[in-house]
Structure formats: structure tokens, C-alpha cells
Amino acid sequence: MECRRSEVAVAAGIVCTENSGPIGSNRRIDERMMQPNTLWRTARAAGLCILFLMPALARAQWQMQSSGTHSSLRGIHAVGGTIAWASGAHGTVLHTSDGGEHWLACSVPPDAASLDFRSVWAWDAKHAMVLSSGPGTQSKLYSTHDGCHTWHVVLTNPDAEGFWDGLQFEGSHFGVILGDPVRGSFTLFTTYDGGMHWNRQVEPCLRTMEGQQGAFAASNQSLAVLPLPDSKSRDVSVTRHRIWFGTSGGWMYRFELAPLSLIGSTHDGCSHLRVLGRESAPNPAAGIFAVSFRDAENGVAVGGAYTNSRAAENTAAYTLDGKNWRHPMHTPGGYRSSVAWNASDGVWIAVGPTGSDTSKNGSDWQPLDNANWNAVSLPFAVGPKGRIGRLISWGELRANLAAPAAISPLHRNSNAKGQ
């Protein structure tokens, strides 16, 4: 290939400057050039334009951050690109206000040093809630309004045989807590005032579909909450929502929720679909671990068997109409516990203990890395031993390089010569 500008041949692309001659392909390039921050600084300083001609750099990358803890992290909630909260074992709660440059440890909530905070939800740098998962009263909900200097208990699991799995909000007022079955039905608490008051929902739609069925508290993504497309009222007290949650056995629950009552007899009704899993004996360790929607129709469910994390069978499904679920042509590379939509690149990202994968619409998954992750709330992902990474997306690379001439791999053939 010829280039009128200079070339630095790196494993993932070609960097051209306006002023210098070509650098031969036999020149060794320091692999530190491949780090996103280094790439940005070098490009800005030298006026570089980067022509990414191979997929390795033309897709997202994880940039590791220092969390300051060795506790396993399973809760993560990003509020934009700079504010985020993370949570995990031993009452651990962290937060950042600078995009993860510094993660600060929160005070441990009262009587929570032994609790496992597997769910966290935040609204800003001051206001957040954390939910612990455990049998009986080990499932608790705490709230802070002062940047986690102080906490107070909002709700304690009233069921001795219960186990809470996740916490989700839609907007600033409506929220849902999902728990494992108690007396044959899944547990569901709802709030319409931002979490100050919670009400238990009782409805046949929550009944179990098989023995030993339960939800998973692996990443706070066992359920998803969506406002109904025809909900036009701004009054949360009259807004209806659609609730999705996945369980062991590959079951997906869908129903509509109106203020203070479930609706099981509307045109959509409530449905129970076996989205993942075999039609065989129940396996309480396998099923749907995470469900996420980017709009009312396009969603992805991921899971598998956490006891066999490298098995790729029955690890993902997707829907393009909000009703019918399909299996992908190529599945993720193993059990996946969390999934999120990366709007910057227009792809889904799924994570799990054997790595992360990307997919345009859920129909075909490609590997991204092989690191150990538990949960994702973009641009952040968390994992065991305090692991935190920040996603540097292809879109972000282009924006930070301020390179309008940057060419995506889709156009590499038309630009391979005479540049």
C-alpha cells in the first residue's frame, strides 16, 4: 500500500501524519501505542489521522481502572459518562464523579458489613440506593441522599424464605424489586414515590412455571422495566409499565403493571415463554441471568449455566418486536451474566466470567475480550476482586481523536490504495 503521508504500521491500523516520511513495516511499534489514552494523546500532539483498517482497534476496548477494593463487585449503575456507583460483597459501595479516574469508598451502611450488595441504582452523585441479596432479612434496601456519607434502611425482606434478586427504576419515581418465589409466586414490590414507600404485588401472573424455579442476583439485570409506548401521561401515578424478568429454566415473564395492580387481561396480557434452556429436567443453576431493552421492541436476554461458564449453548436470545424471541446464529463465548446497549457504536455488549462479546442486534455475537466480568452499565463493567473497567468505544475513539478522516473498516476496501 502506498501513502503520501507517513505511515506507522501498528497491529490494528495505520497512523498517517502530514509531515514525515514513511516508516518501514519492519520498525517495531511499542504496544503501548495501542492503549486508547496513549493513542489520543499522540494523535492530538502530532495532528494524526488514524485509518483503522482492522477490526481489532475499530471496536470497543476495556480500559482497566483502580477500584481500591478487593471485594467482588456485582452492582454497577452509570449516570452518564462521569458519575457511577458500584457495589458488592462485605457491604462495599463505591462511587466516582470523574469517569472512574478516582473511585471513592462509601461508608458502610448500618449493620451491612456482612451483606452482599448485588444491586445499586443511582440518580446523581448524591442520591443512590443499594439492595443486598440473601435469605430472609439479609435482603435489604438502603438509601443515601448525601453522597453515601450516611445511609438509612428503606425496606427489609419480610419473608423468611425469600431472597431478593434485583432493583430497577424507570425515571425518578417508579421502581421495582424482584425476589425469588415465596409460596409458589415470585416476589414483586413496587414504588411510585422514588422508593420511600413500597407495596407488594400479588397476581397469578407471578406464579412459578416449574419446581425449583428462581431468578438470579448475578448482576441486577434479572428484570427490565419499560414505560408502555402508549403511555402519554406525565403523571407517574397513572403511567403503565411493561415488566420483563428472566428465571432459571430459561423462562421469560412479561406483563403490564398499572399503579397498585397488575394487569393480566389487556391485549398483551401476561406471558411466560421458555426463551432459553432445554425442555428437560429443571436446572436451578441455568437460565436467563440478564434482560435488557434499548426500546420497546429490541431486546436481548443472556445467561447459560454458571456452573459451566464456558458452555456456549443456550446463552442468548433476542427479540426485534418485543414479543417473539429468537436464538442467535453465533452465541456468546460462554455463560453471560449481564448485557447492555452501546449506543455509541450501535451494538450490544454482553459480559461474563469468560469474557465479553458484541452483537449488532443480538443475532450474531463476536468476542471482545476474555476477562472476568460480572455486570455492565456502560461505560463501566465490574467483576471479582474489585475489578472495574471503562469501555472505550469506537465512537469515542473517533470523537477524542477529532478525526473526520478516520475511516471505519466498512470503507477500508475503497481507501486501501492511493491514500
In this predicted structure, what is the pLDDT of residue 199?
93
- The dihedrals phi and psi of 386, each to the nearest 5 degrees, come to 75, 20
User: So what's the pLDDT on residue 347?
Assistant: 95
Write down the pLDDT at residue 232.
54
Per-residue pLDDT tens over the stretch 58-76: 567 899 999 999 999 999 9
pTM over 0.75: yes
**Ranges of residues in the chain whose predicted pLDDT is under 70:** 1-59, 229-238, 259-269, 278-282, 400-419
At residue 402, the pLDDT reads 57
Q: Quick one: pLDDT at residue 22? A: 36
What does the pLDDT read at residue 37? 52
Domain architecture of the chain: domains with CATH: 6-57+401-415 (no CATH), 63-392 (2.130.10.10)
Return the pLDDT at 406.
43
